[in-house]
Amino acid sequence: MTPPAAPAGAARAPRPLAVVTGASRGLGRVLAGFLAAGGFDLVLTARGARALQQAAEELPGEGRYRTLAGSVTDRDHVAAVARAAGRRLDLLVHNASTLGPNPLPPLAQAQPEALRDALETNVVAPLVLTQALMPALTRAHGLVVAITSDAAVGDYPGWGVYGASKAALELLARTLAAELETIDVVVVDPGDMRTDMHQRAFPTEDISDLPAPEVTLPFFAWLLSQPRESVNGRRFEAQSDAWTVAGPAG
């Protein structure tokens, strides 16, 4: 059935707006394309200006796409992202992160500076950006998605720095979900994927058998279709055979 045409001169409903960090490659880039095709306007941020601009030029749809190159750990950059988002924000995806030292060191040999850097990028920066965007998220009753890893709940040798930062991110997200009444927060583990970050973690291995980030898109389509109260505070594995609201994040 074709919906009736809007009356001449009628105002169009505003398009939803999403902010995606780490949007120049990998999962962030794939999610940006998915959201653009789904009718979102986008504010995209990543550290590499050229790769970010190229990603934006390849987006489908007819939305408005704003790119802001910079680090999520830079307070001036965070302020610029908040200005670009404006008064209403429907979706915030915390995808930007750092793997830490490469090759991955045993935790007993990890330098304190490496842990501080991982915590600053993977934990402090998402909180600061969420705080900056909270008024806009509140007006739209927006959704915050924190991208995590199975390293947050595992004890994999060499992954202690990264895993500790992602575990902290999960607790941060779960606490925000419990505290905030007008913003919903979820944690998503996308699973192993064929990305630059995964290749850096295993520089001598062939990862061509891993799925591309597009494997997560059925999950994100499902997530965005769910009643917010049913997903708030939950942890999901994007590559699971089925997604259920089974328990809190963590």
Q: Any idea which residues carry the catalytic annotation? A: 162
Closest CA to 137 of 35, 228, 32, 25: 228
Question: Which residues, at least 6 apart from 232, have a Cβ–Cβ distance to it below 8 Å?
Answer: 177, 184, 185, 186
Please report the sign of the dihedral spanned by the C-alpha atoms of residue 147, residue 150, residue 153, residue 157. negative
40, 15 Cβ separation under 8 angstroms: yes
Closest CA to 188 of 199, 177, 203: 177
Amino acid found at 225: S
